[in-house]
Amino acid sequence: MLNTTPIPELYVSPESAAKLKVEAGRLVSHDLTHRQVCDLELLMNGGFAPLKGFLGEADYDSVVEHMRLSDGALWPIPVTLDVSEEFAARVEPGQDIALRDAEGVILAIMSVTDKWVPNKKREAEKVFGADDLAHPAVNYLHHTAGKVYLGGPVTGLQQPVHYDFKGRRDTPNELRAYFRKMGWRKVVAFQTRNPLHRAHQELTFRAAKEAEANLLIHPVVGMTKPGDVDHFTRVRCYEAVLDKYPPATTHMSLLNLAMRMAGPREAVWHGIIRKNHGCTHFIVGRDHAGPGKNSQGKDFYGPYDAQEMFKQYEAETGIEMVPFKQMVYVQERAQYFPADEVEQGMTVLDISGTELRRRLREGLEIPDWFSFPEVVTELRRTSPPRSRQGFTVFFTGLSGSGKSTIANALMVKLMEMGGRPVTLLDGDVVRKHLSSELGFSKEHRDINIKRIGYVASEITKNGGIAICAPIAPYTATRRAVREMIEQYGAFVEVHVATSVEECERRDRKGLYKLAREGKIKEFTGISDPYEAPESPEVRVETVSVTPDDCAHQVMLKLESLGLFG
């Protein structure tokens, strides 16, 4: 039965908030990351009830090991405030800190009770099932999150500011009040991070009918999987299909959740969050919140692991599972059926997510039986065919390997073709204009490469071609750049695989000689490692091949990827 009693929030009254904001001027301030803002919003508005703040060490250990808080309450995902070692050194338990958004607006005050260095390997293995960097949340844990965790209760002063889709964002209490006002007795929630096509509409419609419930379409608009369709496009797609549902039976609300893609544990977490929003039923999909393939090329989780774990805790969460049925289109019947109800001999039509992306990329037809024309129009606006999108060619290799020469040859070939503006972000030029204050330590080199990646992602987003030619010796940094760029267009990694012996033999700038003499510290290939890419899109050999031929190899690859019309 629907529980419409208001849920406790962590906000203080507006008068207290105004007073605390003034006092907070004297506190140490932490600027929250995007993920932390998402977490804080759901902590403050009751979406993460029963949590009263970021987990302390005892609760964190208990959640990682047993999916429970130290008082025994079910909670499957660690919600932690990760900070840098420098920031942690300024804070001690017993101290209050101000939590601010990226613009410096104060959102909450946190009373720090705990400070510790977590065992991230253990967290990855227990929460995500493996310490495998192919998992986006494990990669985040090791390469983005701070090394130290702070725990303690939060006092909410104000909600994070959202300038988009204000009318579509509801707190748990606002949703509960809406259900109460509408007289809804049962509500089935549908979690999604993808646009809705006809199969989803059919699935949600059937799920609501089976549960004799109203439907809440509750898409995640905080952080999803890198490479997902951006939430602006997705919300426009959802709005385009809302009128396909019977009037007054369905409500759509946006959830500012930072997903972890933790499969079975995440499914239970999503259930608890929906229960807090007043729902009675929750649709759990096949491979719910799965991140895709691990580094061995196998799925991280089995297709029904999430449903099995959800079932195990169903009574405790107090929200009922509606298993997601795979809906397929039966040509002879001209309608959708659950895959397990299709009669033998019938023609089943289906388009996978990969196939849909291919059709959008290549400008091919997307049939009406698969999606709604309004949704396809929105997707085509955001994802024009590849031949009209921007892209980045990212050269990596040792100093003196020939990267700049090949990159220049490629730039000229692309400019000769015309059609898109071309920008060359060469290592030395970038050092002069973007990174003149940086040295050559690992940390500074990483910052330099991420700056190049950021500029390339902006060029790509705006339909241009970026050619980058830094050394970029570290796998993790190259991956971060790839993720930055692939949101907007293709990322083509070119490994200029010239050996260190050959680079040293060429040594036009005399750098290897200085490095051998110890006059240049941390020199890639001599005193600092170069992590060669395992599977770049292109690998070129420069010893017996001219730069022109190498550039031609890259051009052929770009053509095969459909990047030219």
Residue 384's H or E segment, with its range, is none
Per DSSP, the residues of 236-250 read: HHHHHHGGGSPTTSE
pTM of the predicted protein model: 0.77
C-alpha to C-alpha distances, 464 to 131, 408, 438, 452, nearest whole angstrom: 37, 16, 27, 15
Report how far residue 440's alpha carbon sits from residue 520's, in angstroms, rounded to the nearest whole number: 9
pLDDT of residue 544: 85
Cis amide bond preceding 50, omega within 30: yes
Report how far residue 534's alpha carbon sits from residue 557's, in angstroms, rounded to the nearest whole number: 17
Q: Which of 33, 80, 171, 193 is catalytic?
A: 193
Indicate the burial class of 517 (C-beta count within 10 angstroms; 0-12, 13-18, 19 or more). Answer: exposed
pLDDT at position 3 over 80: no
Check if the beta carbon of residue 540 is closer than 8 Å to that of residue 496. Answer: yes
Residue at 292: amino acid letter:
G
pLDDT of residue 565: 67
pLDDT of residue 1: 66
- For residue 172, the Cα-to-chain-centroid distance in whole angstroms is 24
Report how far residue 37's alpha carbon sits from residue 160's, in angstroms, rounded to the nearest whole number: 7
Mean pLDDT of the region 431-454: 86
- Count the residues in the chain: 565
All residues at 6 or more sequence positions from 176 whose CB lies less than 8 Å from its CB, including other chains: 3, 4, 5, 6, 7, 277, 278
Per DSSP, the residues of 552-565 read: HHHHHHHHHTT---
pLDDT of residue 366: 92
- Tokens 């660690």 -> residue: 78
Backbone torsion region of residue 491, taken as left when φ is above 0, otherwise alpha when ψ lies between -120 and 50, otherwise beta = beta
pLDDT digits (tens, 9 = 90+) for 363-417: 889 999 999 999 999 988 887 888 888 999 999 998 888 899 999 999 999 999 8
pLDDT digits (tens, 9 = 90+) for 260-285: 999 999 999 999 999 999 999 999 98
pLDDT of residue 40: 98
Pseudo-torsion of CA 168, 174, 180, 183, nearest 10°? 0
Q: Which of 33, 139, 171, 192 is catalytic?
A: 192
pLDDT digits (tens, 9 = 90+) for 192-213: 888 889 988 988 988 998 899 9
Per DSSP, the residues of 389-450 read: S-EEEEEE--TTSSHHHHHHHHHHHHHHH-SS-EEEEEHHHHHHHT-TT--SSHHHHHHHHH
Q: Are strands 214-219 and 187-192 parallel, antiparallel or unpaired?
A: parallel
405 is a catalytic site residue: no
Tell me the two tokens of residue 84. 């840098």
- Kindly report the CA angle at 418 between 415 and 421, in degrees rounded to 5? 70
C-alpha to C-alpha distances, 230 to 200, 224, 378, 492, nearest whole angstrom: 18, 9, 12, 21
pLDDT of residue 245: 87
Q: What whole-number percentage of the chain has pLDDT above 90?
A: 67
User: What 3-state class would DSSP assign to 222?
Assistant: coil
DSSP secondary-structure letter at 537? Answer: S
pLDDT at position 515 over 80: no
Q: Are strands 114-116 and 148-156 parallel, antiparallel or unpaired?
A: antiparallel
Mean pLDDT of the region 119-139: 96
448 is a catalytic site residue: no
Tell me the two tokens of residue 47. 């979406």
| Greatest C-alpha distance within the chain | 80
Mean pLDDT of the region 532-538: 93
| Better pLDDT: 230 or 52 | 52
280 is a catalytic site residue: no
| Better pLDDT: 467 or 542 | 467
Reference 178, options 270, 280, 251, 272; nearest CA is: 251
Q: Range with the lowest mean pLDDT among 249-263, 267-281, 439-453?
A: 439-453
Report how far residue 175's alpha carbon sits from residue 177's, in angstroms, rounded to the nearest whole number: 5
| Better pLDDT: 307 or 338 | 307
- Could you give the count of Cα atoms lying within 13 Å of 66 in the half-sphere of its Cβ? 11
The model's confidence at residue 92, banded by pLDDT at 50, 70 and 90, is: very high
Strand order in the sheet with 538-540: 422-426, 465-469, 391-396, 490-496, 538-540
pLDDT digits (tens, 9 = 90+) for 285-332: 888 999 989 999 999 999 899 999 999 999 999 999 998 878 889 999
Q: What whole-number percentage of the chain has pLDDT above 70?
A: 100
The model's confidence at residue 248, banded by pLDDT at 50, 70 and 90, is: confident
User: What 3-state class would DSSP assign to 343?
Assistant: coil
Indicate the burial class of 382 (C-beta count within 10 angstroms; 0-12, 13-18, 19 or more). Answer: middle
- Tokens 């890259």 -> residue: 554
Q: Which of 3, 113, 144, 194 is catalytic?
A: 194
Return mean pLDDT, the chain: 92
